[in-house]
Structure 1
């Protein structure tokens, strides 16, 4: 929570229409970004649909940077393992130093798995199509880039039925089918379109 407050102060106001760096935005019929979504990511029946932004989490850009930074740090740590074993066989480093290097690498890998699992479920932007039947969730990949996941609105559990509290740093977005679980922050995120947001997740005034 403290980290999110610092990020919010550093970020400052962001224009509503400005796309996040490293994330794509949808403008009319054109995708803007490093690559277009694959057919698996974008259902065929949404090709001609217009989506409206209903929620935005500005700090998602920072989390993307952290994800890529953690990948680089873990890779550098693991790369030193083979030379470490070689140096130990040559008597250049002690067994204690070798164990310390191995423990650091294992810890870095464990933290990478935990952080990547959380970051991939963190919601950056939410969109709803014109007819209000499809929810598009923009979140991060393992590599810290953007991915869009499409969910039927009818399958989304309203936040009013969730066991989470609106005052919590993160609330879960779940599906009745149990297919996906995402995390969004009402405390630090911004609901852009309250009417469409309420159609999907329930009335904000009714949240605990």
Structure 2
């Protein structure tokens, strides 16, 4: 009985490590299920491990599935560069302010220069917030998995980097459900489960796979 019990854990451990490394996330049943029936004391911990593996499996499956591009925005790199440029401009403005205030306290610069520098810094901060609020909601790429059940959406972060989101197809609203018309230059990407809204454009972007795109968002005609 001890030998049989000891044989369970090496197999279970190796499979858990295999999932953590990004390979198959499905727990093999061979060699484990018989021991669940014969060793009641092992049932609770193994069931707990199994539920954790299944949860991790769903995450691994989303990131390792094969996706095909259905939409892309050619100008997304330009928008990413603009986002980073605004960050650099704001950082430079904030670095310049302390020396200006120091020189003003020393009597070396006028109050006009202090007011002007402060105004530039405030304006840069407002522009950064406004630009980031919009740019973070622009969709750069959209992908559909091979089973046509999951939509992968890529958009920018506050730092101008790429961020991928995974959403079930049943949760994505069509263009009509979102309250838009097909001919509008800017369209909303909305979901039923959250008020978060992203934006994409058929006019300025490119629909790579029209058939798959229409399966997600409805007809383009």
Higher RCO (C-alpha under 8 Å, 6+ residues apart): 1
Following the alignment from structure 1 to structure 2, what is the Cα–Cα distance between the partners of residues 180 and 152?
A: 15
Instruction: Evaluate the alpha carbon distance shift between residue 203 and residue 67 of structure 1 in structure 2; reply closer, same or farther with a 3 A threshold.
Output: same
Displacement after TM superposition at 1:169 (Å): 2.9
Match of 1:61 among 77, 100, 108: 77
How many residues end up aligned between the 2 structures? 166
Instruction: Evaluate the alpha carbon distance shift between residue 94 and residue 164 of structure 1 in structure 2; reply closer, same or farther with a 3 A threshold.
Output: farther
1:127: which partner in 2? 143
Following the alignment from structure 2 to structure 1, what is the Cα–Cα distance between the partners of residues 116 and 215?
A: 53
Q: Does 1:100 align with 2:127?
A: no
CA RMSD of aligned residues (A): 1.9
1:160 aligned counterpart, secondary structure: coil
- Where do 5+ consecutive residues of structure 2 fail to align? 1-22, 24-55
Structure with bigger helix share is 2
Q: Does 1:114 align with 2:130?
A: yes
2:171: which partner in 1? 155
Q: Does 1:72 align with 2:98?
A: no
1:46: which partner in 2? 62
Following the alignment from structure 2 to structure 1, what is the Cα–Cα distance between the partners of residues 63 and 110?
A: 61
State the TM-score, normalizing by the size of structure 2: 0.71
1:165: which partner in 2? 181
Displacement after TM superposition at 1:78 (Å): 1.1
Displacement after TM superposition at 1:47 (Å): 4.0
User: Once the two structures are superposed, what CA deviation does each residue of 1:172-205 show, in whole Å capped at 9, x if it has no partner?
Assistant: 1011112531110111101010111111111111
User: Once the two structures are superposed, what CA deviation does each residue of 1:3-27 show, in whole Å capped at 9, x if it has no partner?
Assistant: xxxxxxxxxxxxxxxxxxxxxxxxx
Match of 1:136 among 143, 152, 157: 152
- Where do 5+ consecutive residues of structure 1 fail to align? 1-28, 30-39
2:198 aligned counterpart, secondary structure: strand
1:165 aligned counterpart, secondary structure: coil
Instruction: Evaluate the alpha carbon distance shift between residue 176 and residue 100 of structure 1 in structure 2; reply closer, same or farther with a 3 A threshold.
Output: same
User: Looking at CA atoms only, which structure, 1 or 2, has the larger radius of gyration?
Assistant: 2
